[in-house]
Amino acid sequence: MLTFTLRRLLLAIPTLLFISLVIFLLVDLAPGSPMSEIPLTVPPEVRQKMIEAMGADQPVLVRYVLWLRQFFWVEPATLIDGWFGTSLAGGEQRILSWQTRSPVFTMIGQRIPQTITVVGTAYLLGVMIALPIGIYSAYRQYSLFDQAGTLFAMIGFSVPTFFTGTLLIIVFSVWLGWFPTKYDTTLSVTDWNSFVQQIRQMALPVLTLALANAAAISRYMRSSMLDNMGQDYVRTARAKGMSERTVVLKHVLRNSLIPVVTVIALGIPAIFGGAIITENLFGVNGIGAALILAIHANDLPTVQTLAFIFAVLIVVFNLIADILYGLLDPRIRYD
Amino acid sequence: MTDAPAAPAPRPRSQSRAIWDQFRTHKGALFGLIVLCLLVLFVVIGPLVWQPEKLRVAEALKVRNLGPSWRFPLGTDQLGRDMLYRMMQAGKVSLAVGFIAMMIAIVVGTTIGVLAGYFRRLDGPLMRLTDMFLALPLVPLLLVLVMLFRDRIAGYLGPEMGAFVLIVFAIGITSWMQAARIVRGEVLALREREYVLAARSIGAAPRRIIFRHILPNVISPVMVAATLGVAEAIITESVLSFLGLGFPPDFPTWGRLLNDGLQYMQLYPERMLWPGLAISLTVLAVNYIGDGLRDALDPRIRGR
């Protein structure tokens, strides 16, 4: 298991390097040098430091390494300094946003809790809806319930989240007035009332994302259950006289969950990407909204950093999924 | 070697006939095909049949934000433009983006898949490349691509054509990975078949083997991937337009119309309902067709 994990970890490094190179080159090769686009409002000495930190007059490869250094050494070091009061970073130039002229990572640190609250709840809810649907659809294959589930999944696949989101807004906030249209980021939960308010404003974005995810996951759950239902060990369990409940929920479900758990882990980065739309639609002040804001403001460092963070999320969760699969299914480890 | 009179076998059905027969049994797929045909007719024939009168600015100002009527079946928008006509125009662009981006993705994906599957030496590097592309954060990357290159390309090709080429190319180049993986898997199995061995042993060049013996046999999975690719591309384009980073406002797509309607959501919800419905219906139809094709093209399922 250790070698398996190590091998996967080592494989993730070139992938990350490749992605960082793509993102770096994309912004670097874009028309106009990024250096010439530093807004004039940035004070000249900060501008000089930024140029030096990114090595604007160096060859491409050197600039790339310098960018990596800022991302992988200076930023984590600053974070550790903040926690333990050390001085690892030594006051080196951090990645600055051109919009706010503050470090990009500070902004991300402030925004990421919003994203995680909404996206995390949505994903949990989605999984909780999807698993029972998938299990029962498979158990009663071709029943009315199964067909309804198939239709639900097909619609969930096909209707884009920005449309379900707007529909939900129109129905539940404009017509019925049950929920607010916009997410109020400044709300802090202190008592019962503000808690209820938080739930109410989270309802629509969470529902939008949860429905989209539930569709896909319920399909995986169903097909995985179907694969296992016909296995010999299921017949054995029935022959032993186990109750139907035990057979389905213990024997079949446990084995069927193995691939589904992987799919769930693999879906997490995608949902962060998908949350860009939902965050913009509902005005959640998370990192997805920050990306769009930065793009419209031509704030290249923020764009570069956020895009790379999305990439890191994908690689990390791919890794987690791989390791989970190896952990749950011993056959995978000896590939 | 006698010509014993065999029992008269039933006349064999042609392959396309068999596929169609199987396809027809899938109700969803049939529904999808009909809906897609209607939508294509709507955007291709529609603008020829339905030509709204040309309004001068002063006249257009008077007919802003109208509800549905005989004169404007879907009403007008905030600038007094006929919504039905705009829906047709937008649909043409949306569908064109979907189909062309899919074709780029399929050509790139099939090429890489065949190369990786047939030439063992290329397999490792190409598949690593595919894995790396799969790990790219697509939506953020596309947004960045559009942001950085829109103006530059618009300078060469004009704002409309520039946006079209950029978006189609960007979507195509970031969605070939699934096709590549599927094709590679098929090719790996096919190249061990006897007929490929036979072709090789009579001295056929790799190019001939690939085009003559391998490609025709990977067509079915590629077609299924292509159908699903259309749906994917349409959604991606509408996401870009929805976030305001797609096409310019006077060159609408369904996503763009939805984005425009968003500001007037409270007063005129139907203005975002139509484009949203159009996107959803198209994608739903295409997905169902893909589902039906998968069954119809699989000889193990067909004929049962």
pLDDT digits (tens, 9 = 90+) for B203-217: 888 889 898 888 888
The answer to whether the Cβ–Cβ distance between B284 and A296 falls below 8 Å is no
Tokens of B235: 């959604």
**Higher pLDDT among residues B53 and A63, named by residue:** A63
In this prediction, residue B101 carries a pLDDT of 92
Portion of chain A with pLDDT greater than 70, in percent = 89
Lowest mean pLDDT among A73-87, A102-116, A296-310, B121-135: A73-87
**Cβ distance A158 to B280 under 8 Å?**
yes
Portion of chain B with pLDDT greater than 70, in percent = 84
Q: Per-residue pLDDT for B197 more than 70?
A: yes
Residue B137 in contact with partner chain A when CB distance is under 8 A = yes
* CA nearest to B132 within chain A: A15
The answer to whether the Cβ–Cβ distance between B140 and A276 falls below 8 Å is yes
Closest CA to B277 of B20, B38, B26: B38
- Average predicted confidence (pLDDT) for chain A: 81
The whole-number average pLDDT for the span A219-238 is: 88
In this prediction, residue A87 carries a pLDDT of 66
Q: How far is B232 from chain A (nearest CA, A)?
A: 9
Residue B276 in contact with partner chain A when CB distance is under 8 A = yes
Task: Give chain A's domains with CATH numbers.
Answer: 111-328 (1.10.3720.10)
Question: What whole-number distance in Å separates Cα of residue B77 and Cα of residue B70?
Answer: 16
The answer to whether the Cβ–Cβ distance between B265 and A169 falls below 8 Å is yes
Question: What whole-number distance in Å separates Cα of residue A125 and Cα of residue A253?
Answer: 19
Cα–Cα distances in angstroms (integers) from residue A217 to residues A127, A155, A212, in the given order: 7, 13, 9
Contacts of residue A69, defined as CB under 8 A and 6 or more positions apart, other chains included, come to none
Nearest by CB to B269, from A162, A174, A292: name it: A174
**Higher pLDDT among residues B267 and B117, named by residue:** B117
Indicate the pTM of the whole model.
0.82
Cα–Cα distances in angstroms (integers) from residue A199 to residues A2, A52, A114, A210, B205, in the given order: 42, 47, 13, 15, 66
Query: Chain A contacts of B140, Cβ < 8 Å?
Result: 273, 276, 291, 306-307, 310
Query: Chain B contacts of A269, Cβ < 8 Å?
Result: 137
Nearest by CB to B137, from A273, A280, A295: name it: A273
The answer to whether the Cβ–Cβ distance between B242 and A277 falls below 8 Å is yes
* CATH number at B94-297: 1.10.3720.10
Query: Chain B contacts of A296, Cβ < 8 Å?
Result: 244
Q: Per-residue pLDDT for A334 more than 90?
A: no
Question: What whole-number distance in Å separates Cα of residue A122 and Cα of residue A126?
Answer: 6
Query: B135 phi and psi, to 5 degrees?
Result: -85, -5
Query: Chain A contacts of B124, Cβ < 8 Å?
Result: none
In this prediction, residue B108 carries a pLDDT of 94
Highest mean pLDDT among A48-52, B53-57, B138-142, B221-225: B221-225
Q: Per-residue pLDDT for B156 more than 90?
A: no
Q: Per-residue pLDDT for B159 more than 70?
A: yes
Closest CA to B178 of B122, B239, B134: B134
Residue length of chain A: 335
pLDDT digits (tens, 9 = 90+) for A243-273: 888 888 888 888 888 888 888 888 888 777 7
The answer to whether the Cβ–Cβ distance between B140 and A166 falls below 8 Å is no
Query: Chain B contacts of A23, Cβ < 8 Å?
Result: 141, 144
Q: Per-residue pLDDT for B1 more than 50?
A: no
The whole-number average pLDDT for the span B239-263 is: 81
The whole-number average pLDDT for the span A192-213 is: 84
Mutate to test the interface with B, among A154, A157, A158 (most CBs of B within 10 A): A158
In chain B, domain spans: 94-297
Query: Chain B contacts of A319, Cβ < 8 Å?
Result: none
**Cβ distance B209 to B197 under 8 Å?**
no
Chain-centroid distance of CA B214 in Å reads: 24
Residue type, B102: M
**Higher pLDDT among residues A107 and B55, named by residue:** A107
If you ran DSSP here, which 8-state letter would residue A242 be given?
-
Confidence band for B6, pLDDT divided at 50, 70 and 90: low
**Higher pLDDT among residues A95 and B165, named by residue:** B165
Residue A23 in contact with partner chain B when CB distance is under 8 A = yes
In this prediction, residue B2 carries a pLDDT of 54
Residue type, A210: A
In this prediction, residue B127 carries a pLDDT of 87
**Cβ distance A271 to A265 under 8 Å?**
no
ipTM of the complex: 0.79
Residue B144 in contact with partner chain A when CB distance is under 8 A = yes
The whole-number average pLDDT for the span B186-215 is: 89
The answer to whether the Cβ–Cβ distance between B135 and A162 falls below 8 Å is no
The answer to whether the Cβ–Cβ distance between A314 and B139 falls below 8 Å is no
**Higher pLDDT among residues A246 and A90, named by residue:** A246
In this prediction, residue A259 carries a pLDDT of 85
Got the DSSP string for A36-82? GGS-TTS-HHHHHHHHHHHTTTS-HHHHHHHHHHIIIIIHHHHHHHH
CA R_g for chain A: 24
Portion of chain A with pLDDT greater than 90, in percent = 3
**Cβ distance A298 to B144 under 8 Å?**
no
Q: How far is B157 from chain A (nearest CA, A)?
A: 16
Q: Hey, is A103 helix, strand or coil? A: strand
Q: Per-residue pLDDT for A17 more than 90?
A: no
In this prediction, residue B9 carries a pLDDT of 63
Residue type, A85: G
pLDDT digits (tens, 9 = 90+) for B65-114: 666 766 666 677 766 677 777 888 888 888 898 999 999 999 999 999 99
Q: Per-residue pLDDT for B301 more than 70?
A: no
pLDDT digits (tens, 9 = 90+) for A41-63: 777 777 777 766 665 667 777 77
* CA nearest to A155 within chain B: B284
Mutate to test the interface with A, among B136, B150, B286 (most CBs of A within 10 A): B136
The whole-number average pLDDT for the span A107-134 is: 87
**Cβ distance A13 to A21 under 8 Å?**
no
Lowest mean pLDDT among A257-261, B47-51, B52-56: B52-56
Residue B169 in contact with partner chain A when CB distance is under 8 A = no
